[in-house]
Chain A
């Protein structure tokens, strides 16, 4: 079956440091990957996406890396701020337009 896993359920970083959140996926046919951020009491919000024809994509303070060989996805947040504290989910789109989500990593930024 489909699965998306996270390497660590929790991550704590000092304010100003860089954060790296990792994700493994099982479906080698997937061609679209997304990172979501979910703050307490809110629905997930889109951060950044990447298609399988790329291995890196950058946004504002965020970078997503895709390694299709080992089926690994990572989210890097530069100069982490207190407002970055949230749960982060990786997701990919499978057959039939479904989205499959990981279990999430809870990021805590220490001031």
Chain B
């Protein structure tokens, strides 16, 4: 089975801290994604990556950056955490190409910024 693992289930950070959220997948997927999930807003794409060292902005990249140094690992970085970044963060991965295949999700990291 595909496994997408996020390093933390719960995090509490202070305003202004630099925060790293780590995600690892074990199925050699090319695509990796970071979403945030907020009540009533669904899943919103922050960044995605289709290859090592490649990244593309999603719908809400402001205040975030990402790093993909290895194919299996995709990190989300909050340069200076703010309270409006309190959210559930979900990492996902998928294959590239045809036929299309679904995205597989990690269990999520609930981040609280105080």
Interface residues of A (CB under 8 A from B): 4, 9, 31-32, 34, 36, 41-46, 49, 51, 89, 91, 93, 96-104
Number of residues on chain B facing chain A (CB within 8 A): 26
Check: B103 CB closer than 8 A to any chain A CB.
yes
Check: B58 CB closer than 8 A to any chain A CB.
yes
Q: Given the complex, which residues of A lie within 8 Å of B50, measured CB to CB?
A: 96-97
What 0/1 readout, one digit per residue, does chain B (68-104) give for beta carbons within 8 Å of chain A?
0000000000000000000000101010100110111
CA distance A99 to B35 in the complex (A): 10
CB-nearest residue of chain B relative to A96? B56
Partner of B58, one of A43, A49, A98: A98
The smallest beta-carbon distance between A32 and chain B, in angstroms, is: 4
CA distance A43 to B9 in the complex (A): 11
B105→A98 contact, CB < 8 A? no
CA distance A44 to B102 in the complex (A): 11
Check: B52 CB closer than 8 A to any chain A CB.
no
Check: B45 CB closer than 8 A to any chain A CB.
yes
CB-nearest residue of chain B relative to A9? B40
Check: B31 CB closer than 8 A to any chain A CB.
yes
B107→A43 contact, CB < 8 A? yes
